[in-house]
Structures are given as structure tokens and as C-alpha cells.
Amino acid sequence: MIYEMTFKEFGRHKLRTFLTMLGVTIGIFLVTSVSSFSEGITTFVNDQISITSGLVTVREKGIPGFQIQSSKIDQSLVDDVRNIPGVEKIAELLFVNTNEVGMVMGTSPESSGIIRGVNINIEDGREREDGQYEVVVGRKIADDRGYNAGDILKIAGRDFEIAGILEETGRDQMDNGIMTDLAVLQDATGEKNTITLMMIQPSTPEDADRIERAINDDFDEIEAATDKTIMKSVDDMLSQLSLMTFALGSVAAMISGIVIMNVMMMAVRERRREIGTMKAIGATNRQVLSAIVFESVSISALGAVFGILLSFGGAAFLNSILGMPLALVTPRLIAQGMLFACAIGIVSGIIPARQAARLNPIEALRYE
């Protein structure tokens, strides 16, 4: 009976309930959306590190790490970098976002074993041939889009045959990747003498730091980073995002809490006779308190559900603008958002609930 009162109250004041939930929805949407960048960047970098572990990444100077696929490097610089002491191999990569299939990666023949890793095998079909209009695709993208070995893909207006499908690796960039020969992709897309990245395999692990310093000191067009440098940059960025999330969360909590508390105090005042009747027929102070707090938490939780649903749309919109999945709403974020909202509901409902629980039944029944 007590909890039926909660849903009865929602129906009695639909507009007030909606506006209260809207405040929570906006707060949770903002917090979850900002946090989704932290989740997405962490996932992206961990995936990148798993592929490039031990390598030195070279990109266009001034390009942020999370926009690395938009880097443009003059291919003639590869020979200059190759002359740096300690450089054993250089994998040249070109990323092109095509209208037909999305992102395609072109790799040089020297990339074999550096980028994919020696333990990643072809599951269906065969290896692609250098210089041919052929691609190898990841297992996940093949399953999602129904690709099979031997199918023809349209890329930049050209026909490419799917030579093979890789086994599943658990790495997003590989499992969702479409890979072809660098020279072929340059020819098909008009990106002559242009690459996106160089991945340098040092002769020894100790050479990595020396190569990084040499490139950053001697070249104006490009910059290099080892795994350690990348992780430090990411940690700094995530610290700033965490601070922003904390600030947004604090503001959202304060505004939502004040709104919910105000609404619940009004509700208690309006329902004094109803609460008095409940107490007169045997409801305990704890039951009344629980009912008011439950109502407060219900409003907050419903608002959080809508806020989280909106954050999925917001993340998808941001990713479409950025051209890569950098905003990611994870189960952990969903759980945090719900717990955050419930905490707001509990804290905001305590004072009105205590007021309701302390009502004298006789005085409450006299209230008009």
C-alpha cells in the first residue's frame, strides 16, 4: 500500500514529476557523456598499445593521439628516418575513410609481422598479394557485414577482392579492420606519396627512447612517441577529463538534489492527511520514511535511465563527427550513473521523509 502511493503520486502530478526527472536526466547525460570519452580513449589506447607494443609511433606533428588516423606524412621522410641508428624496420601505414566500407588501412610489405603480429593467422581464404587489388578483413567486421573470402568490395570506386579473413584476435582495430597493400590504396584514393603513420621496430628495446628523441629533435614535420610516452599523455588527458567529470557531477548532484528535495517537501505538505491516515491505521515511522525515500529514488532512477539512453545517442553522434569510436558508454558507466542517481535520490529524500515520519497523525488529519 505504501509503495502504491508512490506511483499514484506520479500520476497525480505528471508535469511536476516529468520536470523533476528531466533535471536528473540532463545531469546524468552530461556526466555519462563526458565519462564516455575517458572510457573510449582508454579502450582505444589499450587496443593500440596491444598492437604496437615495443614500437615507436611516428605521426604528423601537432596531431593529437586520439586523432592519429587524420595524420598526413610525406612518404619521402621514411628514408630519412630509416637512417637513424637503431632503426631495424619501418612499417608504413595509410588510413583512408571511404564512403563504401569506412576505414581502410594500407600497409607496406615491410609491415608484415610488425603490425598484425606473428600469431595472427588467416582463418578463411588466403593472404593477400602485394600490388594486387585485394584485401584481408577482420573476423568481426566479416561476421557483422556478411563478408566471405572471394567477395568483391567497392573501395574508392575500385573493385577489391577479399583474399582472406583473419582469425579473431580480441583487438578491435584488427577484428574490425580492412587491410590492403599501401601502394594500391594510395593509387585507388589518390593519396600519392602520403602515409598516415610510421611504426618503427627498434633493433633493441633500449633504442626506442633514442629513436624517439632523434625524431623529435631533428624533424619539424613529424613527432615520435614510445609506449611510455603515449601512456603518460593519456594519463594526463584522463586526469583532466576526470576533473571535468567530477565538476559536472558535483553541479548535477547539487541542482538535481535541490530540485528533488523541493518537490518531495511539497509532496509531503500536500499529502499530510494521507500520511496521517496511514499512521492512524498502523503505518510506522520507518514505513513512512521508506515510502518517501523510495519515491525520491524512483524519480531519480527513472531520470538516470533516460539520461543513460540519451548518452548512447550522444556518443554515437560524437563518434560520427570524429570518425572513430572515441566515446564509449560501457556497463561500468551505466552502473556508475545509476548508483550516482540513486545516491542523489536518497540524500534528497531524507529530509522530506523525516518530516513525514514525524507528523502527528491527529494534527495531520486536521490538515486541509
Give the other-Cβ count within 10 Å of 215's Cβ: 23
Give the residue from 54, 322, 319, 91 showing the smallest Cα distance to 196. 91
Are the CB atoms for 311 and 36 separated by under 8 Å? yes
Q: What is the pLDDT of residue 118?
A: 47
Which pTM was predicted? 0.59
Q: Are 106 and 96 in contact (CB under 8 A)?
A: yes
What is the structure's pLDDT at 126?
Answer: 92
CA 92 centroid distance within chain = 28
Dist. CA 10–CA 46, nearest whole Å: 45
Give the model confidence (pLDDT) of 206-265 as tens digits. Answer: 888 899 999 999 999 999 988 777 777 767 777 777 777 777 777 877 887 888 888 777
Per-residue pLDDT of 50-98, as tens digits, reads 555 678 889 999 887 667 788 999 999 999 999 999 998 898 999 998 8
Report how far residue 109's alpha carbon sits from residue 345's, in angstroms, rounded to the nearest whole number.
59
Q: How many CB atoms lie within 10 A of CB 360?
A: 11
Contacts 24+ apart (CB under 8 A), 356-360: 356/268, 356/275, 356/288, 356/289, 356/291, 356/292, 357/285, 357/286, 357/288, 357/289, 357/292, 358/285, 359/272, 359/275, 359/276, 359/279, 359/288, 360/276
pLDDT at 58: 92
Give the Cα-Cα-Cα angle 180, 152, 193 (nearest 5 degrees): 30
Residue type, 148: N
- The percent of residues above 70 in pLDDT, for the chain, comes to 83
309 residue type, one letter:
L
Highest mean pLDDT among 32-46, 138-152, 242-256: 138-152
Least confident stretch, 30-34, 46-50, 220-224:
46-50
Kindly state the cell numbers that stand for 123: 582463418
